[in-house]
Structure formats: C-alpha cells, structure tokens
A and B are shown apart, each in its own frame.
Chain A
Amino acid sequence: MEPLTWTGSIAFLNPLLMVALAVLILSIVVWIIASVFLPEQQLIVNPDGSVSSGGGARGLIQMVLYYSFLGSVGLAVAYLVLGVLMGTNAGIVGAISQQFMPVWVALIIMFAMSIAFKRRLGLYGKLYDSPIGMIGFGLVMFWVFTGIFGALDLIVTHDPLSQLSGMKNKVPGTPLPNPEDGQYAWYLLGGDNLARDVFSRMVKGAWVVVQIAPLATMFAFMVGITLGLPAGYYGGRLDTFLSFLANLILAFPVILLFYLLVTPEIVATGVPNYMAAVLFVFPILFIGVLLNSRYYTRPNFRTPLLIGVLGVAIWLYLSLISTDGYIINTEAYRIWGLPTYLDLFDIPGGILVVFVSVVFVNSPTVFRIVRGLALDIKTRDYVAAAQTRGEGPWYIMLWEILPNARGPLIVDFCLRIGYTTILLGTLGFFGLGLPPESPDWGSTINEGRKLLSIYLHPALPPAFALLSLVLGLNLLADGLREESLKD
C-alpha cells in the first residue's frame, strides 16, 4: 500500500485554491482599508424618483471579494464532492470526505427540508434568513451528526481504543503494515503515541460532547430557572439568600472546584451521588409546577396528567441516580435505590461526576440571568394584568414571565453549550473524571501536547474540532440574537 498524500489525484485543484484564497485574503484586506479611507458611496437620485448607487472603487472591491469568496467556497466543495466520488484516490482529504458521507447526506436533507418549509418553522425557520446563523447551525449540526453516526460506527475507520503495532506516531496517510481483510488500510490522520487512529478518536470524541454538553446545559437551565424565577419575582430574603449562594459558587475558580469534586477519591465518598440526587430533582419540580400551575383549575385533567408525567419523570430520576440497586454505595454505608430490574440505565461514576459538576458550575450563571430577566419583566403590564385576574404566582412566573424571557434564554443556551464544551475539554485536559483512554477532545489534546514539538498531528485535529464546534455555537447564538431582535 502506498502512503496517501493530502490531495492525491485531485492535486491539480491545489494551485487554483491557492490563487482563490490569496485573492480572497487580499480583497478582504483591501476591503477593510478601503472602508476606512474611501468616501461612502453616493446615492444618485434619478429623475423618476428612484435611487441608484454608483459603482465606484468600493463596488469594485466588493465584487472582487464576492467572487473570490464564491470561488474559494466552490473549490472547497469541489474537493469534498470529488473526494466522496473518488475516495482514497483523492488523497487524505478525499478519503475523509468519503468517510463523512452520512453526515453530508444528513446535512443536505436537513438544510433542504428546512429551507423549503422555513416560513412555517417559527424562530428556527428565521435562522435561515441570516447567513451567520446558517453557517453556525451548519457547523453545529455537522458535529452533532458526526457524533451520532460516529457512535453508530458509520464514520470511524478503526476502533478508537485498539492499538496497532508499527503505527506509533505515524504521519497522516500512513498505510497499515499488514492490513487484514475488511480493515481500513490507512490511518487517515496518523497515529498517536499509543498507535491509535487519530481520525477515529476525533470522531468518537464528538459523541462524548454531543452526549453530555446539551443535556448538562439543559439541567443547568432547569435548576437556574426553577430557582431564579422565584428569586426575581418574590425578591426579599429568598432573593438575598439564593443570590448569596450563587455568588458563593461563582467565586470559586472553576478549576479548583473541578479538582476538588472530580477525583476518584471524591467519587468513592459518594458526594457526587448526593449532588446528583439534589440537582436532578429540579427538572421534576419544574415540570410538576409548570403543569400544575396551568391546569389546576381543571382537576379532572390535571390529576391524571400529573400522575402520568411525574411518574415517568420520577422513574427516570431514580434510574438515573441509582446504580446496581443503590443510590449511594460506599464502604461506610449504602442507601437503597431502585431495584436493578426496574433500573433503565446506569451511568458510570466517572461520567456522572463530570455531568454533575458541569451542571453545578453552570447553574449559578443561569440563575443570575433568569433572576435579572424576571426582575425586569415583572414590572410589565401583562404581569399586572395576570395579577389582577387572580392568577397564582407560579402561573405568572412560568406562563407569563418565562415565555417572554425566551429570546435571551435561547441565545444564552447556545452560548452555554459552547461553554460547557470548553469545560468538558478543560476536564479532559487536566485528566479529570473521564477515563484516561477516553477519546474525548480534551484528553486527546492533553496527550498530544506532550510531543507537540515533534509530532503535530495527534493534537491538532481535536483542537480544531473543538474550536469549530464552539465557533459554530457562538455564530448560531449571534444569528439567533439578530433574528429574535428583528421582531
């Protein structure tokens, strides 16, 4: 087997791409400088009353910028399309593009459907009016699909944990020394210092993030909303006390907190299990109060609804916090939990402690945001109207204040998933919580950095993956903010 080059037989595109990129960069620089020094375009009022703007130097620069941008994007797409068709003949880029085939298909279907029906999709549909939001959403969904399909073993070329002899620290595109039948014959992005496939580890790492980050952020939001709304709405002692607690957690340097909470010793004491038991109650409270405040005037409908929903929620809660029939299982003592035959799923102690501490770190910030919004919104007329109607305080908080605070909260939700991703990476970087051979991006970066001066390829792919996912979430939040402000 020949080692793969980066672009293989489509190398003829490289000079074209170089030229296009050079023109693009040059035109961006000229565009910026010109926008400072050249006069603004003069509007010419035609005799018939219409307005047209003269072309001028600015127009020319913008045209060059536009076409060079289109050219670069077109060439990049050409690389990917040719890669999908030609596979390893098109070098590493082609092979990677071919491996990502399910992701491309899913992305194309999703974008086509969404753009076709965008007028009926509310805020989500409006996202497709903003190019920034679209780019951000595309990046995010790319990694979400990568995570899902990677977990289904559709994208990965090798097992992310298995080590192949002779592949230690090999550069990207190295063929396996003696591949077996059905085994992918190359390490597309090289091997790391334990001779594992960097590409497969990066793809599997996406699944770790996609699994934990959105869920942890959602839990943090539930906690923050359930505590922040009453703090802002009632004010007084409750507010002082809760704000003090929130500031207390916020005053902790995050890394110190992680070092104190996410260690095997602390897991052995059962502290994370207690925290999980407390923190995961909040979603149940939230759902229960949400439904009860809405339907309490119709007891015939409310009671079965609450029994059904809360029953499922409590079952999920108990299976979440209990492992092997115990909620807390330390050497000193144990607390009985759900019996194993009712337990739906088990979460390994390492993952649970990571999850809990990420929720714990995020919720005070959410609390502060929700509290601020509640303080602002409770002075509005529609809240006064609801109070005059005789609605209960929880109805006002959850069905009057919360829906009207949704704009900033959705934007912050996107930003916070990005922040959670960064936190997960930090945990991996310090080797806390997740098992040492885990393919998550933080751990991989940490392993790769030790040999960084000689071998670049193990550390850079996860670094760029994390960068692009967080960037996508930031752009998505920006797009959403822009679109929600337009109303």
Chain B
Amino acid sequence: MGLFILRRFGVMLLTALCLTFVVFFLTNLYPNLEKLAKTQGNQRMSDEQVEAWLENRGYLQPTLVKYGQWLGVMPGFQNTLEDGQFVGTCTRPGSTAEETSKYCGVLQGDWGYSTVFKDEVGKIVGKRLGNTGYLMFWVLVLMVPSALIVGVLAGMREGSALDRSLSTFSIITTATPEYVSGVIFIAIFTSSTVGLKWFKGTATQAMDNPTFENFFLPVLTIALYGMGYIARMTRASMTEVMTAQYIRTARLKGVSFSNIVMKHALRNALIAPFTVIMLQFPWLLNGVVIVETLFNYKGFGWALVQAAGNNDIQLLLAISVVSVFVVLITQLISDIGYVYLNPRIRIS
C-alpha cells in the first residue's frame, strides 16, 4: 500500500510538471506576451516598443529558462531599466536590487506576482480558494446526501413508480448544464417580472455575509448538475446489489424490506458511488467557474477567468497547479478508498 501511494505521488508530480509546462508554453507564446505587454504598458505601443518592453523584463528568454526560473531551479531574471526602475522575475514594484533574492520560484514557496490584481499570487489564490472552498462545502453537503438518497430509493425497487420518476428527475438534471439551470433559476426565483423574489440573483454579498437568500441558488445550481450522475450510478449499483443472491436469501428468510435495504444492501451499494463522487471533483471545478461567473461570486473560478482573460501568467500557473492537484488527489483518494471499502481487492 505504501509503495502504491508513493508511486502515485511520483506520477502526480510528473503530471503536474508536464501540465504546468504546457500552460507555461501556451501562455508564453509571442502573441500572448504581446497582449500582456500592451495591457501592462501602453495600448498604443509599436511592435518595436513591445519587443523592447518584453526584452527588458526577461520575457524573451528561452521558454525552458523561464520555466526553470518559475520553478526556482534557475536564478531569477534581473535588469535595471534606463529610467532606473529595477525589474525582474523576483522583484515587486518599488523594491530594489538589494531586497531581491536570487532564486524565487515555486520551490522557494514564492508563487510570483499577479499582473492583474497587483498582488502576491499566493495570497490571491489562498483568499479565492477560501471562498470557493466554502461554496464547495455547501455544494457537497447538499449534493452527496440527496444524490445517494435519490439513487438508493430509485434502485431499491427497479421499475417501480418511484424508480421511474426519480430516474426521470436524474436524467433531466444531467441534461441541464449549470449555465442553463442557473439562468432558469435566476429567471424564476429572482426576476422582478415574474414576481417570485425569493432569492438574490447575485452572490456578491455572499463572500462577506453568506445567507440562505444570496447563497442558496449558486449552491443549488452546481449541486443539481452533479447530482443526477451520482444518483444514476448509485441506482445502477443498488439495483445490482438488490438482485444478488444474499438479498434473495434474506427475503426468503422473512427479513423485512426496510431491514434488507438498510442493513444488507446499503453498504455494498455505496462502494461504487464513492469513487464516482470523488471523480466528480474535476467536473465540480468546471461548474464552479461557470456559476461564479454567473452569480458574480469572486472565488477560484472567477480568478481563473480573470487570469486567463488577461494572460496573467503566474496567477494562471498557480491556478492550474492547484486544480491539477485537486484532480489528482481526489483520484488518489478514490483509489485508496475503493481498496479500503472493497475487501475483495484489499486481500488480493
């Protein structure tokens, strides 16, 4: 088991390295750098000025060198401009050559400086992750139990009225992406023309002061899309368990139906959904980006959109590192959990 986890960690690091390099390569293509120079410097710069601007700030070094600097295995770029301004990868606006350390990269714990937010990337990501973490927590609280209940209820009597209506419900939720359900919810519950003003259409205030009124709709929108899939998986696994031999034996012995479901079937039926829930995290991340844009909730997804829209290289890299680790760690947990929950695999 220890070796397995160690190997998985190795693969994880390799994946993260490859992915950050891809992001690094794509954000450092020349047209992207040109856009960065124009937004940071001056919109009306000529091509030569753009090139000089980039050259002076070390953006035109070979990609591998820059990647090494970002990682912290190469000394950072430093340069003093003609007007005496000191610039470089390790510097912050206003700092001098003496204050700047030689190496500044992820290995040193320095995530860089965001060109959009004019702040330390580490701080921004931390703050935004906090907001999103809060959102995700409530999404999970709403989504997982309701999905499991729907799935178990639907799967315990295959073909019954309850099964058919709950399955229809879960198919409809999987067919409704967040930007559709979000728009429909906003239209029904918040619009001034329909008259049902139960909730607020934005979650801007929810960052400081989350209430049921301004926070429920974003949570519901994310939870609903993921819910249908988990519910369908739970239903499939539950119907499979309910046709197993030992359930029939229990029925023939005269165990009551509720006891069969609660004591015999449930535990075995929940093994498969566990992995599914864990593997849902990457999709939830997508949902978070859409919903945060839709409801104007300034979290991780919102930061991603801002960073990508403005080619904020270092913020974008930090964000991709975080999201890649979220994806890979949930995969790891799902593998370990599956082994732990399923004795057949644990023993062999």
Chain A residues within CB distance 8 Å of chain B? 28, 31-32, 34-36, 244, 247-248, 250-256, 259-261, 263-266, 268-269, 271, 418, 422, 425-426, 429-430, 442, 445-446, 448-449, 452-456, 459-460, 463-464, 466-467, 470-471, 473-475, 478
Q: How far is the CA of A422 from the CA of B229 in the complex (A)?
A: 15
In the bound complex, residues from chain A placing their C-beta under 8 Å from that of B184 are 460, 463
Q: Does B115 contact A (CB under 8 A)?
A: no
For A456, the chain B residues whose CB sits under 8 A away are 187, 191, 193-194
Residues of the B chain whose Cβ atoms lie less than 8 Å from the Cβ of A422: 177
Q: In the docked arrangement, what's the CA distance between A248 and B286, Å?
A: 17
Contact partner, B183, options A244, A251, A460, Cβ 8 Å = A460
- Is A266 within 8 A of B183, CB to CB? no
Indicate whether A271 sits within 8 Å of B183 (C-beta atoms), given known contacts A32-B165, A255-B289: no
Contacts of A269 in B (CB 8 A): 29-31
> Are the CB atoms of A425 and B175 closer together than 8 Å?
no
> Can you list 10 A-B contacts (CB < 8 A)?
A32-B161, A247-B15, A251-B19, A251-B328, A255-B289, A255-B304, A271-B26, A430-B305, A452-B191, A467-B176
* Residues from chain B with Cβ under 8 Å of A253 in the complex: 282, 285-286, 289, 304, 320, 323, 327
Interface range for B? 35 or more
CA of A475 to CA of B278, assembled, Å: 26
Q: Does B341 contact A (CB under 8 A)?
A: no
Tell me the minimal C-beta distance from A142 to chain B in angstroms. 15
Q: Give Cα A31–Cα B19 distance, bound, in whole angstroms.
A: 52
Q: How far is the CA of A259 from the CA of B310 in the complex (A)?
A: 10
Residue of A nearest to B32 (CB): A265
Q: Are A463 and B183 in contact (CB under 8 A)?
A: yes
CA distance A470 to B201 in the complex (A): 25
**Is there contact, CB below 8 Å, between B328 and A471?**
no
B158 nearest CB across to chain A (Å): 12
Residues from chain A with a CB closer than 8 A to the CB of B161 are: 31-32, 34-35
A262 to chain B, nearest CB (A): 10
CB distance from B25 to the nearest CB of A (A): 9
Cα distance, A449 to B175, chains bound together (Å) = 20
Most buried by A among B19, B319, B328: B19
Chain A nearest Cβ from B196, distance in angstroms: 12
Contacts of A35 in B (CB 8 A): 160-162
Tell me the complex Cα distance, A28–B32, Å: 56
Decide: A429 and B290 in contact? CB cutoff 8 A.
yes
Residues of A within 8 A of B186 (CB): 449, 452-453
* Contact B192 A453, beta carbon cutoff 8 Å: yes
Whole-angstrom distance between the alpha carbons of A452 and B179 in the complex?
13
A460 and B187 form a contact (CB under 8 A) = yes
Contact in complex: A449, B294 (CB < 8 Å): yes
* B290 near A265: Cβ-Cβ < 8 Å: no
Contact check, B304 vs A454: say whether CB atoms are below 8 A apart: no
The 8 A CB mask of B109-131 against A (1 = contact, 0 = none) is 00000000000000000000000
**Chain B residues whose C-beta falls within 8 Å of the C-beta of A473 in the assembled complex:** 175
Interface residues of B in 10-69 (CB under 8 A from A): 11, 15, 18-19, 23, 26-27, 29-32, 34-35
Contact in complex: B324, A251 (CB < 8 Å): yes
B282 touches A36 (CB 8 A): no
Check A32–B162 contact: CB distance below 8 A.
yes
Q: How many angstroms from the CA of A73 to the CA of B183 in the assembled complex?
A: 27
Which of B175, B187, B319 has the largest number of chain A CB atoms within 10 A? B175
Within the complex, the shortest CB–CB distance from B289 to chain A, in Å, comes to 5
Q: Which residues of B contact A34 (CB under 8 A)?
A: 161
A164 to B289, CA, bound (A): 35
Q: Mark B150-183, 1 if CB is under 8 A from A, else 0.
A: 0000000000111001000001101111011001
Chain A, residue nearest B327 (CB): A251
Q: Which residues does chain B contribute within 8 Å of A471, judged by CB atoms?
A: 171-172, 175-176
- A453–B19 touching, CB < 8 Å: no
* Interface status of B84 (Cβ within 8 A of chain A): no
Enumerate chain B interface residues (CB-CB to A < 8 A).
11, 15, 18-19, 23, 26-27, 29-32, 34-35, 160-162, 165, 171-172, 174-177, 179-180, 183-184, 186-187, 190-194, 201, 282, 285-286, 289-290, 293-294, 301, 304-305, 308-309, 311, 316, 319-320, 323-324, 327-328
Cβ-defined contact, A271 with B29, below 8 A: yes
Residues B324 and A252 in contact, CB atoms below 8 Å apart:
yes
> Which residue in A31, A248, A425, A464 is a CB contact (below 8 Å) of B15?
A248
* A470 with B29: CB separation less than 8 A: no
A250 to B323 CA separation, bound complex (whole angstroms): 12
B30, B31, B32, B192: residue with the most chain A Cβ atoms closer than 10 Å: B31
Shortest Cβ distance from A254 into B: residue: B286
Are A265 and B35 interface neighbours, CB within 8 A?
yes
Q: Are A260 and B179 in contact (CB under 8 A)?
A: no
- Enumerate chain B residues within 8 angstroms of A464, measured Cβ to Cβ: 180
Task: Output the least CB separation between B309 and chain A (Å).
Answer: 7
A459 touches B187 (CB 8 A): yes
Residue of A259, A455, A459, A475 touching B305 (CB-CB under 8 A): A259
A452 to B182 CA separation, bound complex (whole angstroms): 11
Query: Which residues of chain B are within 8 angstroms of A263 by Cβ–Cβ distance?
Result: 32
Q: Which residues of B are found within 8 Å of A256, using beta-carbon distances?
A: 23, 304, 308, 316, 319-320, 323
Q: What's the least CB distance linking A462 to chain B, in Å?
A: 9
Closest to B194 in A: A456
Residues of A within 8 A of B191 (CB): 452-454, 456
B183 touches A448 (CB 8 A): yes
In this complex, what residue of B is CB-closest to A421? Answer: B177
CA distance A116 to B171 in the complex (A): 30
What is the CB-to-nearest-CB distance from A460 to chain B, in angstroms, rounded to a whole number? 6
Residues on B with C-beta less than 8 A from A264 are 31
What 9 A-B pairs have minimum CB-CB distances, sorted nearest first?
Answer: A259-B308, A35-B161, A265-B31, A471-B175, A470-B175, A422-B177, A463-B180, A268-B31, A260-B26
Q: Which residues of B contact A454 (CB under 8 A)?
A: 191-193
For residue A478, which residues in chain B have a CB less than 8 angstroms away from its CB? Answer: 171
Which chain B residue shows the least CB distance to A459?
A: B183
Question: A198 → chain B, closest Cβ, in Å?
Answer: 14
Q: Would A470 and B327 be within 8 Å (CB), given that A452-B183, A456-B187 are in contact?
A: no
Query: Which residues of chain A come closer than 8 Å to B175, judged between CB atoms?
Result: 418, 467, 470-471, 473-474
Within the complex, what minimum Cβ distance (angstroms) separates B31 from chain A? 4
State how many angstroms separate the Cβ of A4 from the closest Cβ of chain B: 18
Give the complex CA separation of A28 and B164 in angstroms.
11
B293's partner among A32, A248, A430 (CB-CB below 8 A) is A430
Q: Which residues of A contact B201 (CB under 8 A)?
A: 452-453
Cα distance, A445 to B194, chains bound together (Å) = 19
Do B286 and A255 have beta carbons less than 8 Å apart? yes
Closest to A473 in B: B175
B26 touches A466 (CB 8 A): no
Residues in B whose Cβ lies below 8 Å from that of A32: 161-162, 165
Q: Using Cβ atoms and an 8 Å threshold, which residues of chain B touch A31?
A: 161, 165
Q: How many Å lie between the Cα of A399 and that of B328 in the bound state?
A: 36
Residues of A within 8 A of B29 (CB): 265-266, 269, 271
Of A259, A265, A271, A445, the contact of B304 (CB 8 Å cutoff) = A259
Known interface pairs A251-B282, A445-B179, A449-B294; 8 further A-B residue pairs with C-beta atoms within 8 A, sorted by A's residue number: A253-B304, A260-B27, A265-B31, A455-B193, A456-B187, A456-B194, A474-B171, A474-B175
Q: Which residues of B contact A248 (CB under 8 A)?
A: 15, 18-19
Chain A residues contacting B31 (CB-CB under 8 Å) are 264-266, 268-269
A449 in contact with B282 given A256-B319, A474-B171, A474-B175 (CB within 8 Å) = no
